Every structure is written in structure tokens, then in C-alpha cells.
Amino acid sequence: MNVLKVPARTIAVFVLPCVLLYIGTVFIPILVSFYTSTLDWNGIGDAKFIGLANFHTLLFEDNNFWPSVRRTLMYAVFSIVEIPFCLLFAILLNRYVRKGSRLVTIYFIPVILSNVILGQLWKTIYNPTSMGGMLNGVLVQLGLESWTHSWLTEPAYAMYALYFVSLWQYFGYHLLIQFTGVQNIPDEIYEAARIDGAEGFKADRYITFPMIVPIFKISVVLAFIGSLQAFELVMVMTGGGPAHATDTIATHMYNMSFLSQKYGYGSAVATFLVVFCLIITVIINFIFNRVERKVT
């Protein structure tokens, strides 16, 4: 529905300030990263051009890289799996609670608090029994002592412990999005459906779900962004440890660029991340275009 025919000058006024700022601050630095990814450079002294050697090491020799990609993807999968549950809650909230938005407001609180706070809080929950960890304390109370673990430091569990914090934190975020979506569906449609004999979950099947698809897309996109940028919470809670067991792409990039001082190599990770984003954006759009065509 691009209806307005306007002179090029007007388009420029509307678009250029935004695009230029964006290109200058986001895109040019990324292009610079593409360039520095071909260098052997510690970020301080002289740089040496080494072509694609960094990428070769990254893709084929770095034992910590692919696991970090896998964890980032898992992060995304968990975040996305959460969204249907949020939708379910949104529907229940809309149906059973009169002032549902009040509750949503409360559920949203973890999102606005700083990760530094949440990290410290969850540490006291995950702490080993000897340090009074809440989760382990509950397990002991229930007589499940064999289930207790040092949740953040056993490589087998640490990452799941982090996923869970994110799920908890972003529950209110996605609930808010889905709730608004559900609320914005006009009542008349449900009325009409009721006359046709569709009520409750049957109505959801034929009305709510199809109408909520675009909202779902926004949630999915936001969940992906959150996963790819999973950095602060990981840094606060485990620092990527023990021994890289909780590294994500973002923390790996940070470690390489600034701690190992292999800036060129870190740029290669950044470059990979950008390409990765590109692929994921294309995939999300493709899937949703199909879904949208199917349901509408």
C-alpha cells in the first residue's frame, strides 16, 4: 500500500538522517570488523594481513567455537519454545482475569531490572547446598538429596541453569506481547464465532491463532535478538566458565577480542555473527511468510 507519490527530496528528508546515522554507527563499524577479521592484530600494535586464516582457525580448529554456537542456538530454541506458553497464559489471562494488564505489569518487572541484580539473585538460588542455595535447600527438604547439584559450576547443568533464568526473565516480556495481541482482537469476531458454535479453545484454534501470527513473529524476532546477544547475564553469573562450558557466541567474541587480545580473531567471530544473523533473519521471514499465507 505504498500510495504516496512524493519527490525524491522529501524521501531524502524522511529517510536519510536515520539511515546515515545507522550506517555510520552500526554498519561502518561492521565493515571495519570484516576488514580487521583478516588481520593478525592484538588491537594495539602493528597488524599483519593474513587473509582468511582467522576464519580457518575459527571454523576448523577452535574447540570452543562450535559449542558456543550450539549454546546460542539452544538459547534461541528455548526462548522460542517459551512463546506458545506465553500465548496460552495470555489467553487464560484475557479470559479469566478482569484487570489482566495489572498482572502483566507485575510479570514484566524482571525485564526492567538490571542483569547485575538478577544474576546475583539467581546465584543465591543456584548456590551449592553448603552455601545455602535455595534450590538445593528445597530438594533436601523434599528428601531428594541425590538431586542436589552445584548448578552453575557443573558443566552438564550450568548452561541449562542459565537458559532457565532467561526463560524466567523474559516470560513477562513475551506474555506482554502476546497479551496485547490477544486483547487487540475485536470481540465481535468471537461473538460471531459463538453464534457459529465455536467457543473456548475451538475459537482459539480458528480465530486467536491465525490472528496472532504477526505478533508471534515479533516475539520470535525479539527472542532471537535476545539469544544472540546473551552476554551480560552469562558474564555476571558464570563468566562463560567453568572452562568455557557456558560460552555463547557473544562471550566468545568478547574473550577473544579483549582478554586473549586477538582482536583480528574476535572480529572473525563478529563477522560470523553478522552472517549468522543474516541467515536467521531470512529463515524467520521465509517461515512466517509461509505460515501467514497458510492461515489467512
Partner 1 sequence: MSKIKKWFVYLLFAILVVTQIYPLFWLLMYSLKTNEEILSGSFFSLPIVPQWHNYAEAYTSGSYLKYLGNSVLVTTVTLLAVIILSSMTAYAIARFRWKYGPYVMLLFLLGMMIPMQATLLPLMIIFKNLDLLDTRWSIIIPYTAFALPIAVFILSNFMRSIPTDIEESAFMDGASVYRIFRSIILPISLPPVMTVCILTFINIWNEYIVAATFISSENLKTLPFGVYTFVSQYSVNYGNIGAFLVMGALPVLIIYFILSERITKGMVAGAVKG
Partner 2 sequence: MKKTGKVLALLLAGALTVGLTACGKSDSSSGASGGSSSGEKVTITFQNISPDPTTPAYKIIRQLVAEYQKEHPNVEIALDTLNTDQQKLKLKTQAASREIPDITMVNPAAQMKPYVDAGLLAPLDDVLDKDGLRDTYQKGLLDYYSKDNKVYALPDGNNIEVGFYNKALFAKAGIDAPPTTFDELLADVGKLKAAGITPIAIGEKDSWTGSFLFMNILLRTNGGPGFLQDVVDGKKTFNDPAFIEAVEAFQKLVQAGAFPDGATAIDATAGGNMFRTGQAAMFFIGTWETGSNDASTVGKDIGVFKFPTVNGKGNLDEYMLAPGSAYAVSANSEHLAETKDFLHFFTSNYPKASFDMKNAVGLGQKVDGDFKTAGYSSLAIEILDMFKNIKGGDLSFDNTMNPAVSQVHLSSIQNLFVQQVDPKQVAEEHQAAFEANK
* 58 or 245: CB nearest partner 2: 245
Name 258's Cβ contacts closer than 8 Å, sequence gap at least 6: 43, 266
Answer yes or no: are the C-beta atoms of 218 and 177 closer than 8 Å.
Answer: yes
The partner residues of 40 in beta bridges, in order of sequence, read 48
* 26 or 195: CB nearest partner 1: 26
277 touches partner 1 (CB under 8 A):
yes
Taking the C-alpha atoms of residue 121 and residue 109, their distance in angstroms, rounded to an integer, is 14
Record the cell numbers describing residue 282, joined without a space.
531470512
Beta strand residue intervals within 151-253, DSSP E: none
The β-bridge relationship of strands 39-40 and 48-49 is antiparallel
* Segment 213 to 252, residues that bind partner 1, using CB under 8 A: 214-215, 217-218, 221-222, 224-225, 228-229, 231, 250
Sole binder of partner 1 in the list 42, 64, 115, 148 (CB under 8 A): 115
What's at 256, amino acid-wise? Answer: M
* Segment 201 to 260, residues that bind partner 2, using CB under 8 A: 237-239, 241-245, 255, 258-260
Q: Is 49 helix (H, G, I), strand (E, B) or coil?
A: strand
Taking the C-alpha atoms of residue 173 and residue 157, their distance in angstroms, rounded to an integer, is 25
260 touches partner 1 (CB under 8 A):
no
Pick the stretch among 50-58, 77-85, 111-119, 150-158 that binds partner 1 (CB under 8 A).
Answer: 111-119
Work out what residue 109 binds among partner 2, partner 1, none; the CB cut-off runs from 5 to 8 Å by kind: partner 1
* Segment 37 to 56, residues that bind partner 2, using CB under 8 A: 42-46
150 touches partner 2 (CB under 8 A):
yes
192 touches partner 1 (CB under 8 A):
no
Taking the C-alpha atoms of residue 290 and residue 77, their distance in angstroms, rounded to an integer, is 20
Residues that bind partner 2 (CB under 8 A): 8-9, 12, 16-17, 20-21, 24, 42-46, 123, 126-131, 150-155, 237-239, 241-245, 255, 258-263
